[in-house]
């Protein structure tokens, strides 16, 4: 059920309100005003913790603190302020080489003055050539837990109704087991308990109760290991630096220096989660844990407390750097399963929707993902990456609560990450809860309970610290939720309570199947859990189409998880494609396949049917890449039940191939079956005309109007919708056309989309883009060259079309005037400039281009000479040094230039072309000795002789 959608968030605070914990500043750094506060008020801003960022160096950079510090201190944003850079992962222990191979040594935490704007820091570090990744820190919060009822009255003893016989079929002596409906319910109590609304634990305990060699890490607030029901479940480790016995690590204390990292501070949330996993069983005390043993001292799994929160109610949380250190610690110290009932806060008012939420939160998931991956890959392994001798499983499983924000369209981080197991919640009547976050990324459902008005005992009952009753973790005192005469146990609701049920079942599976199977892996564990669901489906209870496929595979069943594997393949399904050829509307963009549920003789469910059907859809032209893959579950159906599956959003007129296999809970596969179909050809409606790629409008024109016809080749009816129209745009349908009117607004780029949809679903998306530009005067783009005319000669014409650029794109109007009409008369006809010569002399012509009232001018010099005058107007400079220039008549195409001595000896003979703009020819004379020379200039019309001096 997992779908990869980048990385997102879930939850909110255990204590006073939904939201993020406040920042904890390093005492060594400045803690003044926070510039991020104003920044974070904007919908697009990110709630970075002040004074903290993480970087990952590129692979070609030495992964040392010195190199990282050099990169960081190059950032101008830091100036000369105090900056600390520390390596995130421990590179001093036996696992260092393994972490280097994974690139974990390249991660560093950067601590800086909390007055710096974190977004500015990130943006500048991102451009450093040595840095591969950079992001800030967002503080996590436990998934919301509801202890608060609608009344102030404590639980009445009369309301404590047993849900089972309290023995667990093994004669367990725990007095409160009978109130743990979430393990096994056998007593039907109207609107309170329903048999089967549980994890079927009593039957599972016949097969396994937990092995002390299996360790479950609880990444949460601290576990109360002095609790009467938890003390014997404490993992025993050794601090390598002190030799002290430890039960985990306080990562909040390790990061902040506020306390001893080896001292676990009991927390209500972490202790409640821990009790569900491994409270001691059959000890005559309190409650039972899912994997809490059978009463023997050498039974039951062990609990490792990875404390990432400080004291309850004080908003104290470790940063992402220390959370990944917790994953690192758990992986390297023997944990097989890690329970995480926490995530990132989602605020719909701030983050709006899933797309916006993803765009924001994907920025900061990189480091946390590395920690999750490390635990998933390395748990149970030695420093070489091989399975440890005595380890029950290679690799680890991370279990996350889905969150309690009542969302069904948000991909929560980290629960949506494909490598974790996401757990939603159901209540004591077997109904998926409204409060849980749902999505295609949810894997399983487990008991989360409810503690609403009058329903406190429908919550999950577990252990809490001895001082829990003195605290207020909600609006009301905690005595409202503790047992009436025993404050060491309390009810709670939430996916935080559901997740440890799955973690506990996972621990039972590892205990049973990992002990004697040297090849048992975390992937084997995941597959077992994903197949271990009850034979009733949550989708038969919650039929809302919006929830389809968003509540996981189903309800977790501990007994199925511990069952001997099925070995027989399900029978092969017979696949059919529905014929839509006679249907008026179907078959163009959709298709339907049908098959009957097939038998599986050794299936665990009473109906003996296949567990699920895996379906792949391909385009026939590309059988290497499936268009989609989907799984349809049939564990709650009888043999012969027909299943239909609809494919939607297909392409019209395309050949498709469907492949299908039936499988059981243990991935035994039937032979593959195939079917083919071709979608019917439909021509979507299209625009017969548009406004072009980018329409340019001047801010001086009042409006733009155009009729846009629409054509549908098949003659189908059609509808349309648009994105939000820019201000001033009117878009109206008139028959089979649109009337588009754009009232021109201020300069800028504007756009909107129009989607045409015919009666069969065929669609065409047409983008409309137009640009309003400031109307400025015509722009001179080419300079006019000087013109030479003969006295009383023929008129000359010059094309002005490419001299000016019109801002509107319309044809320009031109005027011309002469400074001396006796020499030259100037006029225009269209884009042609007409020059009529008169007497000898020089005149300046002024040309004006006009564009909608805006005008620009340029000038042109015209020289009128006698018809017998030479084609050269002037020779310069005289005397000359290294070159000599001759100004030629405007219509001269080429000039033969000859230089001779005074004795007639030819020294230079070259043919030159006049510059088109200046009408000059330039002759290099560096080779000549100083002296006096003759210069002959020959054109097609005449030869002129001149004398010049070379210096």
pLDDT at 794: 86
What is the secondary structure of 608-672 as a DSSP string? -B-SEEEEEEEETTBTTS-SEEEEEE-TTS-TT-EEEEEE-SPPTT-EEEEEEEEE-TT--BPPP
pLDDT at 77: 87
Partnered with residue 583 across adjacent β-strands are none
**135, 182, 227, 269: which is the annotated catalytic residue?**
269
Kindly tell me if the per-residue pLDDT of 149 is higher than 60.
Answer: no
Kindly tell me if the per-residue pLDDT of 552 is higher than 90.
Answer: yes
Instruction: Taking residues 912-921, report their average pLDDT.
Output: 89
- What CATH topology corresponds to 158-547? Rossmann fold (3.40.50)
Q: Are 162 and 175 in contact (CB under 8 A)?
A: no
Rounded Cα distance between 354 and 563, Å, is 39
- Give Dmax over CA atoms of the chain in angstroms: 138
Rounded Cα distance between 337 and 396, Å, is 6
> 223-271, pLDDT tens digit by residue?
999 999 999 999 999 999 899 999 999 999 999 998 999 999 999 999 9
Percent of the chain whose predicted confidence (pLDDT) is above 70? 91
> 405-415, pLDDT tens digit by residue?
898 888 888 99
Q: Which two structure tokens, joined as six digits, stand for 540?
A: 């038969």
Rounded Cα distance between 900 and 908, Å, is 7
Instruction: Taking residues 294-309, report their average pLDDT.
Output: 97
Report for 309-313, 315-319, 371-375, 409-413: range of highest mean pLDDT: 371-375
pLDDT at 156: 76
Residue spans per domain, the chain = 36-138, 158-547, 566-678, 686-773, 779-865, 872-950
* CB-neighbour burial class of residue 896 (10 A; exposed 0-12, middle 13-18, buried 19+): middle
For domain 686-773, say whether CATH 3.30.420.40 is its number.
no
* CB-neighbour burial class of residue 31 (10 A; exposed 0-12, middle 13-18, buried 19+): middle
Same topology for domains 36-138 and 872-950, yes or no?
no
Confidence of residue 90 (pLDDT cuts 50, 70, 90): very high
Instruction: Taking residues 853-861, report their average pLDDT.
Output: 91
Is residue 269 flagged as an active site residue? yes
Q: Are 497 and 448 in contact (CB under 8 A)?
A: yes
**233, 341, 496, 670: which is the annotated catalytic residue?**
496
Is residue 785 flagged as an active site residue? no
Kindly tell me if the per-residue pLDDT of 317 is higher than 50.
Answer: yes
Instruction: Give all strands of the β-sheet with 729-734 in edge-to-edge order.
Output: 686-687, 703-711, 737-743, 729-734
Instruction: Give all strands of the β-sheet with 920-924 in edge-to-edge order.
Output: 872-876, 883-888, 920-924
Q: What is the pTM of this model?
A: 0.77
Is residue 496 flagged as an active site residue? yes
Instruction: Taking residues 42-55, report their average pLDDT.
Output: 76
Residue whose pair of structure tokens reads 């000859």 in the numeric block: 898
**113, 220, 590, 712: which is the annotated catalytic residue?**
220
Backbone phi and psi for residue 124, each to the nearest 5 degrees, phi listed first? -75, -40
Partnered with residue 97 across adjacent β-strands are none
- What CATH topology corresponds to 566-678? Immunoglobulin-like (2.60.40)
> 659-668, pLDDT tens digit by residue?
999 999 999 9
pLDDT at 141: 62
**474: DSSP letter:** S
Within 13 Å, how many C-alpha atoms sit on residue 627's CB side? Answer: 17
Looking at the structure, give the CATH architecture of the domain made up of residues 872-950. Sandwich (2.60)
Closest CA to 803 of 794, 812, 795: 812
Distances (CA, A) of 721 to 648, 651, 737: 20, 21, 14
Confidence of residue 351 (pLDDT cuts 50, 70, 90): low
Q: Average pLDDT over the chain, rounded to whole? A: 89
Instruction: Taking residues 292-316, report their average pLDDT.
Output: 91
In CATH, what number does 36-138 get? Answer: 3.30.70.80
> 511-525, pLDDT tens digit by residue?
999 999 999 999 999
pLDDT at 350: 67
Q: Are 307 and 270 in contact (CB under 8 A)?
A: yes
For residue 911, give the H/E element and its range. Answer: strand 906-912
Q: Which two structure tokens, joined as six digits, stand for 249?
A: 């690590």
Residue, of 353 and 400, whose pLDDT is higher:
400
Q: Strand 397-401 relative to strand 248-250: parallel, antiparallel, unpaired?
A: unpaired
For domain 779-865, say whether CATH 1.10.10.1100 is its number.
no
Closest CA to 368 of 3, 60, 8: 8
Q: Which two structure tokens, joined as six digits, stand for 377?
A: 């890959």
Q: How are the residues of the chain apportioned to helix, strand and coil, as percentages rounded to the nearest 5?
A: 15, 30, 55
Q: Give the angle 644-647-653 at the CA atoms, nearest 5°.
A: 130
Kindly tell me if the per-residue pLDDT of 652 is higher than 80.
Answer: yes
């Amino acid at each position: 059920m997992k779908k990869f959608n980048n990385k997102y968030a879930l939850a909110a605070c255990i204590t006073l309100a939904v939201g993020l914990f406040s920042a904890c500043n390093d005492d060594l750094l400045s803690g003044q005003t926070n510039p991020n506060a104003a920044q974070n008020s904007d919908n697009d801003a990110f709630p970075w913790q002040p004074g903290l960022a993480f970087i990952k160096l590129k692979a070609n950079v030495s992964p040392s603190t010195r190199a990282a510090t050099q990169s960081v201190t190059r950032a101008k944003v830091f100036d000369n302020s105090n900056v600390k850079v520390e390596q995130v992962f421990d590179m001093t222990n036996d696992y260092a080489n393994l972490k280097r191979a994974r690139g974990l040594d390249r991660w560093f935490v950067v601590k800086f003055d909390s007055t710096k704007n974190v977004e500015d820091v990130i943006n500048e570090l991102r451009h450093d050539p040595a840095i591969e990744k950079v992001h800030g820190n967002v503080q996590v919060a436990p998934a919301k837990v509801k202890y608060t009822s609608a009344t102030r009255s404590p639980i009445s003893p009369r309301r404590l109704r047993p849900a089972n016989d309290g023995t667990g079929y093994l004669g367990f002596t725990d007095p409160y087991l009978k109130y743990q409906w979430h393990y096994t319910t056998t007593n039907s109590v109207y609107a309170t308990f329903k048999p089967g609304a549980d994890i079927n634990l009593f039957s599972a305990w016949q097969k396994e109760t937990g092995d002390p060699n299996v360790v479950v890490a609880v990444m949460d607030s601290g576990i109360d290991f002095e609790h009467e029901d938890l003390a014997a479940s404490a993992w025993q480790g050794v601090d390598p630096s002190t030799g002290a016995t430890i039960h985990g690590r306080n990562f909040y204390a390790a990061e902040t220096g506020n306390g001893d990292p080896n001292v676990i501070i009991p927390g209500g949330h972490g202790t409640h989660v821990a009790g569900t996993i491994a409270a001691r069983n059959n000890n005559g005390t309190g409650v039972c844990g899912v994997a809490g043993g059978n009463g023997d001292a050498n039974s039951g799994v062990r609990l490792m407390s990875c404390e990432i929160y400080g004291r309850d109610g004080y908003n104290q949380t470790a940063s992402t750097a220390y959370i990944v250190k917790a994953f690192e610690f758990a992986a390297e110290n023997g944990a097989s399963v890690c329970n995480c009932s926490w995530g990132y806060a989602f605020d719909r008012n701030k983050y709006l929707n899933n797309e916006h939420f993803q765009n924001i939160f994907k920025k900061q998931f990189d480091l946390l993902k590395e920690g999750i991956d490390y635990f998933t890959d390395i748990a149970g392994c030695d420093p070489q990456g091989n399975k440890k001798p005595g380890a029950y499983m290679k690799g680890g499983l991370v279990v996350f609560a889905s969150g309690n924000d009542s969302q069904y369209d948000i991909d929560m981080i980290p629960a949506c990450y494909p490598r974790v197991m996401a757990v939603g919640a159901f209540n004591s009547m077997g109904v998926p809860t409204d409060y849980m976050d749902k999505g295609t990324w949810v894997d399983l459902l487990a008991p989360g309970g409810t503690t609403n008005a009058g329903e406190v005992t429908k919550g999950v009952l577990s252990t809490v610290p001895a001082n829990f009753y003195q605290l207020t973790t909600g609006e009301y005192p905690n005595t409202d939720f503790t047992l009436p005469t025993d404050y060491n146990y309390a009810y709670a609701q939430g996916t935080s309570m559901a997740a440890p049920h799955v973690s506990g079942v996972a621990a039972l599976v590892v205990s049973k199947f990992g002990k004697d199977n040297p090849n048992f892996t975390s992937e084997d564990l995941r597959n077992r859990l994903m197949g271990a669901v009850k034979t009733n489906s949550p989708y038969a209870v919650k039929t809302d189409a919006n929830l389809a496929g968003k509540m996981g595979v189903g309800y977790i069943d501990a007994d199925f998880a511990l069952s001997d594997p099925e070995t027989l393949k399900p029978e092969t399904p017979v696949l059919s494609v529905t014929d839509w050829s006679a249907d008026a509307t179907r078959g163009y963009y959709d298709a339907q396949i049908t098959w009957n549920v097939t038998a599986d003789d050794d299936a665990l469910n009473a109906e003996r049917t296949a567990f699920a059907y895996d379906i792949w859809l391909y385009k026939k032209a590309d059988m290497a890449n499936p268009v989609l893959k989907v799984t349809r579950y049939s564990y709650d159906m009888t043999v012969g039940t027909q299943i239909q599956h609809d494919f939607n959003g297909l392409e019209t007129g395309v050949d498709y191939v469907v492949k299908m296999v039936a499988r059981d809970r243990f991935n035994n596969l039937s032979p593959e079956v195939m079917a083919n179909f071709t979608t019917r050809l439909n021509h979507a409606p299209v625009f017969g005309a548009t406004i072009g790629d980018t329409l340019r409008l001047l801010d001086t024109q009042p409006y733009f109007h155009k009729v846009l016809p629409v054509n549908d080749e098949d003659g189908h009816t059609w509808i349309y919708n648009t994105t939000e129209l820019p201000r001033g745009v009117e878009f109206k349908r008139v028959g089979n056309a649109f009337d588009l009117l754009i009232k021109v607004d201020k300069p800028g780029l504007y756009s909107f989309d129009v989607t045409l949809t015919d009666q069969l679903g065929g669609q065409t998306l047409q983008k409309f883009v137009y640009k309003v530009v400031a109307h400025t005067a015509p722009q001179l783009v080419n300079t006019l060259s000087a013109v030479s005319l003969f006295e009383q000669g023929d008129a000359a014409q010059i094309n002005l079309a490419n001299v000016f650029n019109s801002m509107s794109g319309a044809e320009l109007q031109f005027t011309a005037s002469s400074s001396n009409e006796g020499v030259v008369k100037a006029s225009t006809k269209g884009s042609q400039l007409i020059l009529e010569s008169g007497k000898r002399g020089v005149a300046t012509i002024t040309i004006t281009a006009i564009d909608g009232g805006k005008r620009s001018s340029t000038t042109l010099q015209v020289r009128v000479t006698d018809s017998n005058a030479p084609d050269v107007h002037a020779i310069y400079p005289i005397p000359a040094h290294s070159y000599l220039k001759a100004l030629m008549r405007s219509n001269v195409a080429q000039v033969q230039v000859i230089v001779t001595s005074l004795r007639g000896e030819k020294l230079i003979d070259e043919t030159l072309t006049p510059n088109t703009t200046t009408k000059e020819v330039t002759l290099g004379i560096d080779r000549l000795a100083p002296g006096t020379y003759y210069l002959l200039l020959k054109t097609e019309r005449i030869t002129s002789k001149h004398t010049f001096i070379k210096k």
